[in-house]
Structure 1
Amino acid sequence: MAKFLLTSTYTVEGLHGLRQDGGTRRTEVVRALIENAGGRMEALYFGFGQYDTYVVCDLPDLRTAAALAVTIRASGGLDTRISPLLAPEEVDDALGMQVAYQPPGA
């Protein structure tokens, strides 16, 4: 499984739904969505910054991540983005890879 961060901003329609359902109920809905896709939700937080929600989860693959993001955005209640997360060891592995690259103008 790969780890992902889903960040979302509520639309006006989505905020009305949040007021109606409450944060705990929305968290249950997101957890069920992720689990039904074969993943596991690690945490969901609400925020007051650039995004309204932050979800850290494990998903089977990029295809599943894309399907969730598209499904959530298409609902109209949230503008959602999904980012893969790398563990420090994965970064170390990537830094150890030899990659041939020619910079512009070189």
Structure 2
Amino acid sequence: MSLYLTRFSYTAETWSAMIERPEDRRDMARVIIESVGGRLHGFWYAFGQYDGYTLWEAPDNVRMASVALALSSRGAIKSQETVVLLTVEETLAALKGAAHVPYRRPGSSH
């Protein structure tokens, strides 16, 4: 299974609703990811460009994309970005594979 980091920001309406009725959104995040066979590793709120971060594990990109699409389609989240995280081992394998990819810089003869 792959790990995914999601950065998200709530709408003003969502913050207003949560001020009126505070709730632990980790519970909902856990239900969401477990519905596709995944696991929630962490959920944090933050100051800055994004309101929060989640770290989840999902069986594949399609199932994680399903989660991302469901989250963005409900109107509570103003913006979100999900990044696939690679292990060091996966990155090393990709680096070795890159040596065999036939690529030439634009404007270069070799």
One fold, TM greater than 0.5? yes
Q: Cα RMSD between the aligned structures?
A: 1.3
Specify the alignment match of 1:33 in structure 2. 32
**What is the aligned-residue identity percentage?**
31
Measure the CA separation in 1 of the matches of 2:23 and 2:5: 18
Measure the CA separation in 1 of the matches of 2:12 and 2:47: 15
Q: Specify every segment of 5 or more residues in structure 1 that has no aligned partner in the other structure, as ranges.
A: none
Measure the CA separation in 1 of the matches of 2:22 and 2:59: 29
What is the TM-score when the length of structure 1 is the normalising length? 0.91
Q: Specify every segment of 5 or more residues in structure 2 that has no aligned partner in the other structure, as ranges.
A: none
Any idea what SS the aligned residue of 1:41 has? strand
Letter in 1 for 2:73: A
Specify the alignment match of 1:86 in structure 2. 86
1:105 aligns with 2:104: no
Q: Which structure has the highest helix share of the two?
A: 1
Any idea what SS the aligned residue of 1:68 has? helix
Cα shift readout 1:31-76 (whole Å, capped 9, x = no counterpart)? 1111112100000010011211100110111111111111111111
Letter in 2 for 1:18: M
Any idea what SS the aligned residue of 2:71 has? helix
Specify the alignment match of 1:43 in structure 2. 42
Specify the alignment match of 1:57 in structure 2. 56
* Residues 12 and 65 of structure 1: CA distance in aligned 2, closer, same or farther (over 3 Å): same
Shift of 1:90: 0.9
Specify the alignment match of 1:70 in structure 2. 69
